[in-house]
Amino acid sequence: MALLKRNFFIVITISVNFLIGSGVVTVQGLGVEREDEVDNAYSDGDTLNVYVIPHSHMDVGWVYTVKESMHAYAANVYTTVIAELGRNPARRFIAVEQEFFRLWWDGVATEKQKSQTRKFVSNGQLEFIIGGQVMHDEAVTELSAIIQQMTEGHAFIYETFGVRPRFGWHVDPFGATAATPTLFALMGFNAHLTSRINYDQKAAMMKAKGLQFVWQASPSLGSSQSMFTHVMDTYSYCAPMEHPPFSNRSAYMWNGVAKFPDPPADGIYPNMSDPVTTQNMGQYADFMVANIRKRAAWFKTPHLLWPWGCDKQFFNATDQYENMERLLVHINQQRSKYNIKIRQATLGQFFTALHNSDTTWDVKNSGDFIPYSTAREEAWTGFYTSRIELKGIARASQATLRAGETLFSLYTHLFNISRTINTTSALEKIKKLRWATAEVQHHDGVTGTEAPVVRDMYISHLRDGSQATISVLTDILNELTQVNARETEHHNERYNVLGLKSEISEGKSTLTYAVYNSLGWTVRRLVRIEVNSPNVTVLDARGQPVISQVNPPSNGSQLYQLYFFATIPPIGYQIFVLLFINENQRLLQSQCPTVRSYGAATEDAGGMDEGEGRGDSEGDEISIENECYKISFDRSTNALSSITNKQNGKTTTMSAGFLEYHVFHDVLYGQTSNNYVFRPYGPATVIGSVRTQLNVSTGVLVNETTQHFYGLFDVESRYSVTMRLINDASGHPDKLSCSHIEVDFKVGPLSMNKELVYRFSTLLKSNGNLYADVNAFQTMNRSRRHGATIAQNFYPMVSSAYIEDASNDERLMLLSERSHGVSSQSDGDIEVMLHRRVVNNEFETHNYNLTLEEPSVATSTFWLLLGNASTTSELRHRSWLQLENPPVAVQLGSGWSSVKEVNWSALQSRRFHSAIANVLPKNIHLLTFKTPGWNYNVSAKTSQSTGGSPLNLSRILLRLQHLYEVGEHPILSRNVTVDLQMILSPLGMIKTVDERSLTGIWNITQMNRWKWRRADEGRSQSPDMSISNTITHAEPTTTLTTTTEPTTTTAPAPTTTATPPSFTYTLQPQEIKTFFVIMNAPTE
């Protein structure tokens, strides 16, 4: 993926650019550190064992679409590699990202090639590494999406070949987070490899021979989920790019560089390395050995990994293998000269050698490698926000996938219904979205670092997959409710997540909706549906009126916003009827809010400077409030002035406003701000605005304010922010609706080369501390680093971030439904980057369209929590999960002409179904509830001989996640014991439960991860919980039966008198447990 750009030192300082992929990688000395920084002398007395690892870095996107890459080079990689592996059993290759391999396997490979591939996987010549659909980004990806894309790839590999990936190879993601080693440990990995860490950290680690260590990244899970980690040296994942002394081309790239759009007809590619001949053999070998010895000095054992490959390599594997083999044979024959043993190897062979060396390794038990910088002014923190619209679509699609997966599992496992939907066809539609959501997690996908044509590819795939999944949702809900004849056309136009446009057929006065909840708890949420008339009321399934509110059109829309509350069971739905009435039927009509507008002349978009107030509000402030909060604005400026938490009576003085960073954009002045890098000229400045307007709307359910900011020539506001409070007078015990402030932004188009943030400023004594989530899995203190640049103090916020005043026990927290960059540049401040518009000349020489110049409008939603540490910790996780996975509203049928036609008794009898009981505690999240369809290698030989096994719809893949870390909350951070039978009781009786690894491919007792010798052994460590190798549920008193693998807990036959088995399991803080569950058939 990377463009190499960096100053290097010979006698004078000059600059050189190297193209090897996407991004800007900084290296020194043509890819090596300066001589005064790293010792490059390795003792001639030591015999080096060198493992040359052939690979091709194949970006699923970046500059070219998947289709373009398959045509230009990717298909040829596997076709030629498989052919060449058969010519020499000493040859090796590692296959990393599965998307291109699966496309080749399904659409290109012949049966002979498939048979050969199975042979090479079996004998170890071909090794699957990572095994995910893609090499996912680590900074801006969310937990469930990471697990989904890894499961997608692992399931294919296990189903097709009966093998399981055991090693990580994250060579290109832009920084390394603490979540990755823990999740890879839970997947059964033995070791992990990463590369892109901060330039100064890598230099120090190389000098200290500290590039290899045991990473204990989770304080909660302890040493059992630690991961041996290898950080690649400064050459990263590519073979060295230097020119050998006898050539003006790079070495080791004998097939050249891939050519787009078509492979050259004559087979001659750019930059083909000079072949290895008898004439240059000695010089080639000396050149390679010099590099080997230089790199060996940076590691503590005589085992050296030497990656051979780079971006888009091995499309002509014949030239690659033949030339390298001549070189390796020569080096091995010259043992007395070089004292090196060198061979082709897989990553597993290299890590096996390290593990068998019985070396004692240092332990890293705090922090991670975020953010990533390649130089002081090259902080890769811009991509946390790049292409913010793609980030939103990716996360919304993930929520749609969850809704489709959970509802499909409900439908296929309910035992008291008659099914008419083709479940095989329905699952194939859901699989389209599985593929698309996995694909976009690529490190040049959701990051926003791809070209526009590739962005459009991701969006197209996500929308196609979402539409297919929506059609499944609509079909299932229509069948389960049987409101009227199921319609097969125009499903997708009547669907949305918490926001749906109603379509009234001519002559119809009522519409029916199912509101579906994909979470594992009962939720009470405010549903929003767009309607074309304010004369509407909402009825529940019994025909009783539901309190509702209709807000007038806004933001240029012609549609009204209808709001009403729905209490929805876990993995279940409720039915509502919309009755459109005439203006004389006031008894049932939804209530309309009171709307007022206030204008003020200002000089900035924060409303900080005073201006003349206009409006009819009494006193010096304008405010809205609900049971939990009061939000106050200064009447003279329309600016936010304070927020009062009515639960504890504390008022927090607060201002907020839009600011912008003006950024570097011309290489004449050094590093530019681009898709990856954020480089501002200086501190952010308040955006100039000549006029602000504050609209205040107060109603029975929703109170909100919207601030509009206008420039001198703006007809419509360029920036707006809405703050919304929700009123729930039902007395429902769950206060989530009341306990947050919704904050909606609509910004843009931005001026060129400006990056927009919204900053909340308070008097909280935060002492330089900012706390941000890591992949929505754990929280880290991202303390402000003094002496660092502005950009180096930005961090990714995937789900949440907060500042706090520990002395006053006060915390300001933001929850987000997509990833953003977040920072605290001063005590008491927290700012979020909302949008970027940058155009630069950095990539012009490569003819890559890697800019963010489109004049787009961006929208984002946040939930703001304000309170003490205990309360915000209690609310945080469930609130974010509700923000991330809102209820789905689906219009059923086409409606009735009159309310008299509604069959209320039928609606009431079918008003809800639920897949699970409402028994999950607040700290346990139903992370996954899906019917994967894979057989998971019930018989790999059967799958191979028959061309694939039929879909298995009986097995439920269920994951439970303990949401809290150790010490996060005084009560909710405790161990929790759950009973799977009680949870799944609406589906009947459990037949078998099989505890699995995180991606499902290992039985938990068979995983047996390697144990690495640690430098801290014998010392006090964090709690050591043997999650990977020990089943922690109570042992059943009946027999444990074995099907294809051991430890499957099976219920006894109905005729037995034995005590029923126990399906209780205990989850410790931050633990995720994965199960295969099979339910008894109704007759069993």
CA distance 935 to 194: 32
Which residue is associated with the tokens 């590619």? 269
Contacts of 788 (CB under 8 A, 6+ apart): none
Find all residues with CB under 8 Å of 821, minimum gap 6, and list them.
381, 382, 384, 385, 678, 794, 795, 796, 797, 832, 833
**Going edge to edge, which strands form the sheet with 24-25?**
13-20, 2-9, 24-25
956 token code pair: 């439920």
* CATH number of the structural domain 412-586+887-909: 2.60.40.1180
Question: CATH for 932-1079, among 3.40.50.620, 2.60.40.1360, 2.60.120.10, 3.40.190.10?
Answer: 2.60.40.1360
Mean pLDDT of the chain: 86
Label residue 649 exposed, middle or buried (CB < 10 Å: 0-12, 13-18, 19+).
Answer: exposed
Band the pLDDT of 450: cuts 50, 70, 90: very high
* Average pLDDT of the segment spanning 585-604: 69
Given a cut of 80, whether residue 1026 has pLDDT beyond it is no
Written as six digits, the tokens of 666 are: 């011309």
Element (H or E) spanning 805, and its range?
strand 800-805
Beta bridge partners of 170: 194
Average pLDDT over residues 757-770: 97
Q: What is the DSSP string of 368-402?
A: -B-S-BSSTT-B--GGGTSSHHHHHHHHHHHHHHH
Closest C-alpha to 565, from 522, 622, 519, 619: 522
Structure tokens belonging to residue 269: 């590619």
3-state secondary structure of 932: coil
Q: Tens digits of per-residue pLDDT, 232-269?
A: 999 999 999 889 988 989 999 999 999 999 999 999 99
Q: At 384, is the pLDDT very low, low, confident or very high (cuts 50, 70, 90)? A: very high
Phi, psi of 461 (to 5 degrees): -65, -40
Q: Is the pLDDT of residue 1023 over 70?
A: no
DSSP 678-738: --BSSS-EEPP-SEEEEEEEE-SSEEEEEEEEE-TT-SS-SEEEEEEEE--TT--S--TTT
Out of 142-156, 513-527, 555-569, 885-899, pick the least confident. 885-899
Listed ranges 642-651, 852-861, 1054-1063; the one with the highest mean pLDDT: 642-651
- Are 624 and 605 a contacting pair, CB within 8 Å? no
Report the pLDDT value the prediction gives residue 717, as an integer from 0 to 100. 87
510-517 vs 572-580, strand pairing mode: antiparallel
Summarize pLDDT for 831-854 with one digit per residue, the tens. 999 999 998 888 765 667 788 888
Q: Which residue has the higher pLDDT, 543 or 124?
A: 124
Distances in Å between the alpha carbon of 132 and those of 430, 447, 466, 827, 1006? 18, 17, 21, 41, 21
Q: What is the pLDDT of residue 597?
A: 87
Structure-block tokens of residue 4: 């190499």
H-run or E-run covering 106: helix 98-107
- Distance from C-alpha of 132 to C-alpha of 1007, rounded to nearest angstrom: 18
Q: Are 585 and 898 in contact (CB under 8 A)?
A: no
Q: What is the pLDDT of residue 946?
A: 41
DSSP designation for 145: H
Q: Would residue 725 be called left, alpha or beta, if left means φ above 0 and alpha means ψ between -120 and 50 degrees?
A: beta
Q: How far is CA 464 from CA 152, 433, 470, 472, 697, in A?
A: 18, 8, 10, 13, 37
Q: What is the rounded average pLDDT of the residues 515-531?
A: 95
- Under the banding of pLDDT at 50, 70 and 90, the label for residue 913 is confident
111-123 vs 75-85: helix crossing angle, rounded to 10? 60
- Tell me the β-bridge partners of 1040: 1049
pLDDT in tens, 28-72: 222 333 333 333 334 445 789 999 999 999 999 999 999 999 999
Beta carbons of 998 and 1077 less than 8 angstroms apart: no
Residue 1028 has a pLDDT of 32
Position 754 scores a pLDDT of 95
**Residue among 474, 406, 477 nearest 911 (CA):** 477
Please tell me the predicted confidence (pLDDT) of residue 276: 96
CA dist., res. 905 & res. 204, Å (int): 73
Residues 6+ away with beta carbon under 8 Å from 10? none
90: which 2 tokens? 């000493």
Which of 505, 555, 553, 547 is CA-nearest to residue 531? 553
Segments making up each domain of the chain, as ranges: 35-370, 412-586+887-909, 600-884, 932-1079
pLDDT at residue number 774? 97
Residue 484 has pLDDT above 50, yes or no: no
From the CB of residue 261, how many other CB atoms can be counted at a distance below 10 Å?
A: 8
463, two tokens: 């929308």
Residue 126, pLDDT score: 98
**pLDDT > 70 fraction of the chain, expressed in percent and rounded:** 83
pLDDT above 50 (res 604): yes
Q: How far is C-alpha 515 from the chain's CA centre? A: 26
* pLDDT value at residue 554: 78
pLDDT tops 60 at residue 978: yes
Residue 1058 pLDDT greater than 90, yes or no: no
pLDDT recorded at residue 793: 98
CATH code of the domain made up of 600-884: 2.70.98.30
Tokens found for residue 477: 């809900």
Active site residues: 172
Tokens 């027999």 locate to 1039
Output the DSSP codes for 859-874: EEEEEEEEE-HHHHHH
Give residue 905's pLDDT: 61
As a whole number, mean pLDDT of residues 946-974 equals 89
pTM value > 0.85: yes
- Judge whether 412-586+887-909 and 932-1079 match in fold: yes
Confidence of residue 970 (pLDDT cuts 50, 70, 90): very high
Q: What is the 3-state secondary structure (H, E, C) of 775-800?
A: CCCEEEECCCCCCCCCHHHEEEECCE
Per-residue pLDDT of 705-754, as tens digits, reads: 999 998 877 788 889 999 999 998 776 667 789 999 999 999 989 999 99
Task: Tell me phi and psi for residue 20, to 5 degrees.
Answer: -135, 15
Closest of 553, 539, 552 to residue 589, by C-alpha:
539
Q: Which residues contact 755 (CB under 8 A, 6 or more apart)?
A: 382, 385, 660, 661, 663, 673, 678, 680, 833, 835, 836, 837, 838
Residue 794 backbone dihedrals phi, psi, to 5 degrees? -100, 145
Q: Which segment of 101-105, 256-260, 690-694 scores lowest on mean pLDDT?
A: 690-694
Distances (CA, A) of 372 to 139, 175, 368: 10, 5, 10
Report the C-alpha gap between 385 and 831 in whole angstroms.
13
Contact in structure between 643 and 632 (CB atoms under 8 Å): yes
**DSSP H or E stretch at residue 1064:** strand 1064-1067
Look at residue 148 in the predicted model and tell me its pLDDT: 98
Is pLDDT above 90 for 152? yes
Looking at CATH, the fold of the domain delimited by 35-370 is given as: 7-stranded beta/alpha barrel (3.20.110)
pLDDT for res 962: 98
Contacts of 247 (CB under 8 A, 6+ apart): 273, 274
Stated as kind and residue range, the H or E segment containing 880 is: helix 869-884
* Res 1024: pLDDT: 37
Give CA separation, 135 vs 56, 98, 99, 1054, in Å.
Answer: 13, 9, 10, 47
- Strands 363-364 and 212-215, by their bridges, are parallel
